[in-house]
Amino acid sequence: MKHIFLSLFLLNIIVIPGIAQSDIIQGKNNFEILENQTLKEVLDNVSEQFEVLLAYPTPLLKNLSLAPANYSFSDVEELLDQMFSDFKLDVKQVSSEKYLIRKSYQEPSNMGFQEYSGVVRDKESGQALAFASVYFSDFSNGTFTDSEGRFTLAHKGASSDTIIISYLAYGERKLYTQKPDQYFEVFLDRNENIITDVLVEYIVPPTMFTRDGMALVLSDKMPTGQNIVSNDLMRKLQLLPGINAYNDDESSLKIRGSNADQSRIILDGMPLYNVDHYYGIFSSVNDDFVDQVSLYKNAQPVQHQAFGGGLVLMDSESDPINTKAILRVDLLNTTAAISSPLTRKLSLNLGLRTTYRNVDDGGLINLKRRSNDPENFNNPQNDVFISNEPDFRFYDLNGRLNFKLSNKTSLSYSIFKSHDRYINSYDLNFQNHQQQNSRTIFENREAWDNFSSALLLVSRIIKNWLLNG
């Protein structure tokens, strides 16, 4: 009797009535659900009993439950697959103790869709045409042929049943769909259009190359930058490719990366240096006096190849036929230029530019400093501590007298002069602690000139040979 009670006690310990339990029978696990439970409760029991982590979004298990059942499985993943067979849920094992539960992926429905395929070839050669356009006439869908001329096009019942195939230099072809999954072998005819003669007319640009291709020639009608920097030739050159300004506020040139002092400027045979006014803001070359400009960025004429930078050759009109005069007046200066034949062999070119008002008369430089603390009697009261009145003016003069000795020889005399004057008057007022007024007036004067002249003999020996001296 004692053994019977002991056996019943052990049986009650091993088999305890519960909601779910598992046993190992012949190498497989056994998991049993004894009554209706929510799927979440069952998964919590699986997680606790097998010491695994089940990850899933909570809304995924909402309103899902399992009826009493008995599952036989070899691992946890197989158990979960059996439980989820009616719920469209997938299980992915991340590690030995972690499982990820997600909604099963459903392939999109292809109901109502049909596919049409084919190949596009050249009718004469039979060669496959790659990148031909294939599309429905209502533009509901379209594609291109591959490198072998093949295409596949999806079709929905409500869309157009006409397929259009087009290719550059070929005639368009229309295909009509008659049955599902139809295959087309398309041959396109070449569309050869013969066009009539086309005459292209253009205006000769103001920028051109010389006959030998070594220099860039700019005509006097060059519009580059006129709306930006007024009538300043050096500012126009700064806007050309390969040319930079030494500074944004200076008219000097940097050609092909060279320094500004390495760029040589020659006007009517005269080498010019520091061709600027007002500390470099304005150039001292009169644009109305110059007739032609040749810009050498790389290779230069033989007589000028000793310089590492670029070369700018400027020439006034050498043999004017009629008298031409120009007068310009702007807000700062006045420019005048004239070219006229004096006799049959003698001609004169003159250019003058001068300021008629103070360049600094804008109120920006005349700054006045006042006292910041007039109520503090310990500090001097400086009503007007210092004031200055700068006065800057300049002018430049260009001239050329040309005498024609013969049809092949000419003699010319050229001059260039520029003048700058800068006067700054300072007025210093000071009041000390004893209420004594002190006033100091002083003036700073600066002036500089640039002058050059040349006597040039030019003789043409043969057609392309010139002698300069």
Terminal-to-terminal C-alpha distance of the chain: 147
Sign of CA dihedral 42, 44, 48, 52: positive
Q: Which residues contact 202 (CB under 8 A, 6 or more apart)?
A: none
For 96, counting Cβ atoms within 10 Å of its Cβ (0-12 exposed, 13-18 middle, 19+ buried), the class is: exposed
Identify the pLDDT of residue 350. 92
3-state secondary structure of 297: coil
Tell me the C-alpha distance between 72 and 22, whole Å.
9
Tell me the C-alpha distance between 159 and 176, whole Å.
13
Task: Tell me, yes or no, if the two domains 20-103 and 113-188 fold the same way.
Answer: no
pLDDT 10s digits, 407-437: 888 899 999 999 988 888 777 776 666 677 7
CA distances (Å), 389 to each of 280, 437, 457, in order?
21, 21, 48
Identify the pLDDT of residue 150. 94
The packing angle between helices 39-50 and 76-83, to 10°, is 170
Pick 113-188's CATH classification: 3.40.50.920, 3.40.50.10680, 2.60.40.1120, 1.10.1040.10. 2.60.40.1120
Tell me the C-alpha distance between 320 and 301, whole Å.
26
Tell me the C-alpha distance between 149 and 181, whole Å.
18
- Give me the CATH code for the 207-468 domain, please: 2.170.130.10
The pTM score is 0.47
Give residue limits of the domains in the chain: 20-103, 113-188, 207-468
Identify the pLDDT of residue 434. 67
Tell me the C-alpha distance between 273 and 264, whole Å.
8
Count of CB atoms within 10 A of residue 406's CB? Answer: 9
Class of domain 20-103: alpha beta
Report yes or no: 283 and 277 within 8 Å, Cβ to Cβ: yes
3-state secondary structure of 434: coil
The edge-to-edge listing of strands for the beta sheet with 183-188 is: 150-156, 113-122, 183-188
CA distances (Å), 468 to each of 39, 289, 301, 433, in order?
107, 22, 12, 74
Identify the pLDDT of residue 208. 53
Identify the pLDDT of residue 318. 82
Q: Which residues contact 276 (CB under 8 A, 6 or more apart)?
A: 234, 250, 251, 252, 282, 283, 284
Q: Which residues contact 251 (CB under 8 A, 6 or more apart)?
A: 232, 234, 235, 238, 245, 275, 276, 280, 281, 282, 283
Identify the pLDDT of residue 34. 82
Give me the phi and psi of 279, to 5 degrees please.
60, 35
Identify the pLDDT of residue 433. 66
DSSP 249-294: T---EEETT--GGGSEEEETTEEE-S-EEGGGTEES-BTTT--EEE
Q: Are strands 183-188 and 113-122 parallel, antiparallel or unpaired?
A: parallel
Tell me the C-alpha distance between 265 and 111, whole Å.
81
Q: What single letter denotes the amino acid at residue 269?
A: G
Q: Which of 313, 314, 310, 315 is nearest to 243 (CA)?
A: 310
Tell me the C-alpha distance between 455 and 411, whole Å.
7
DSSP-H helix ranges across 84-220? none
Tell me the C-alpha distance between 41 and 242, whole Å.
80
Tell me the C-alpha distance between 187 and 169, whole Å.
13
The residues of the chain scoring below 50 in pLDDT are: 1-2, 4-6, 8-26, 211-213, 220-229, 369-377, 380-384
Give me the phi and psi of 81, to 5 degrees please.
-60, -40
